[in-house]
Amino acid sequence: MTTNDTLAKARIAVLGYGSQGRAHALNLRDSGLDVVVGLRKGGPSWERAHAEGFRVAEPAEAVRDADLIAVLTPDMVQPSLYRDAIEPNIKAGAALLFAHGFNVHFKQIQPRNDIDVVLVAPKGPGALVRREYEIGRGVPCLFAVYQDTSGHAEAKAKAYADGIGGGRAMLIETDFKEETETDLFGEQAVLCGGASELVIKGFETLVEAGYKPEIAYYEVMHELKLIVDLFYEGGLKRMLEFVSETAQYGDYVSGPRVVDESTKQRMKAVLTDIQDGTFARNWIAEYQAGLPNYKRLKQADLDHPIEQVGAKLRARMPWLNAGQAAPAAAPLKKVG
């Protein structure tokens, strides 16, 4: 039996039809696997999945006959989804699959002990997972086994990863703890929290020194994509190959002045909060309270002058939204 044969006769229920859910469902179906999509009836996702040829059912019904259930809904929705639709209906010996280990690792979901529990996490957004599959390639995937009741949990995880195209690229074994904690750290310290704060503080530094906000925006936000793309394509080596010697020298002597050992110590504090559950407890409490701080902090970011000037500048760059009509031009006004 090859890895793909493991799910050859299985029914797979994909719960959720957002970025990842849609990509997984389409790729699995195109790999010859039997897929049903589980959604709340009547919503736009229900209509889209139905229009794209899937059998669509309410989550509880989708789970009832499935051999593998892929939970691809937002993190904070998953505990109630498990309690109400999955736990009462999943059959013994079936597999429960997650794309992120948050709820299992932090005990918001405690799976029944008569099922397999696995993780398959593509290292790319759903659109990329789908696009790479369609051209005969795949996106690398992490995979993990949390609970192996059947004795075949790892084979099921690998077969699912193959079904969405991951086996064409690379499968990397991990565990729920490692995937969850590194994912949260990356988001908070570097990718979302770290990068956005670095950009904002750079913008503020230039504007407060008297430079035009439009120029500050280009220098610290717009051009960041050029560097990130080089990182993405070939790491530090490629970035250094494509920037000037002046930029390289500035990198070497000024980068460590901004992001120094004290920054690393604060990163370690962020990691500690993730590891000991502080972040998870705070986030769960925030969600249950109706997201008051989340909404306030998000609005503060949206109201920042870098967003005001950025919206005007992006309106002059139609290539950013290819195929969309460019807004009417308006005079740029100094912000800040």
Question: Is residue 45 marked as binding?
Answer: yes
| Residues acting as catalytic residues | 100
Question: Is residue 183 marked as binding?
Answer: yes
Question: Is residue 80 marked as binding?
Answer: no
CB atoms within 10 A of CB 69: 29
Which of residues 142, 174, 206 is at a domain's end? Answer: 174
**What are φ and ψ of residue 52, in 5° steps?**
-90, 15
Query: Structural domain of residue 145, as residue ranges?
Result: 5-174
Rounded mean pLDDT, 246-253: 97
Question: Is residue 244 marked as binding?
Answer: yes
Rounded mean pLDDT, 222-240: 96
In CATH, what number is assigned to the domain containing residue 147?
Answer: 3.40.50.720
Does residue 59 register a pLDDT over 70?
Answer: yes
The verdict on 15 and 158 lying in the same domain is: yes
The verdict on 145 and 242 lying in the same domain is: no
- pTM above threshold 0.75: yes
The verdict on 28 and 166 lying in the same domain is: yes
- pLDDT, position 326: 41
Does residue 259 register a pLDDT over 60?
Answer: yes
Give 104's Cβ-side CA count (13 Å radius).
24
By the 8 A CB rule, do 85 and 66 touch?
A: no
Does residue 333 register a pLDDT over 60?
Answer: no
- pLDDT, position 270: 98
The verdict on 218 and 248 lying in the same domain is: yes
The verdict on 147 and 230 lying in the same domain is: no
Does residue 336 register a pLDDT over 50?
Answer: no
Question: Is residue 18 marked as binding?
Answer: yes
pLDDT confidence of 197, banded at 50, 70, 90?
A: very high
pLDDT in tens, 20-58: 999 999 999 999 999 999 999 988 899 999 999 999 999
The verdict on 117 and 222 lying in the same domain is: no
- pLDDT, position 43: 84
The domain tally of the chain equals 2
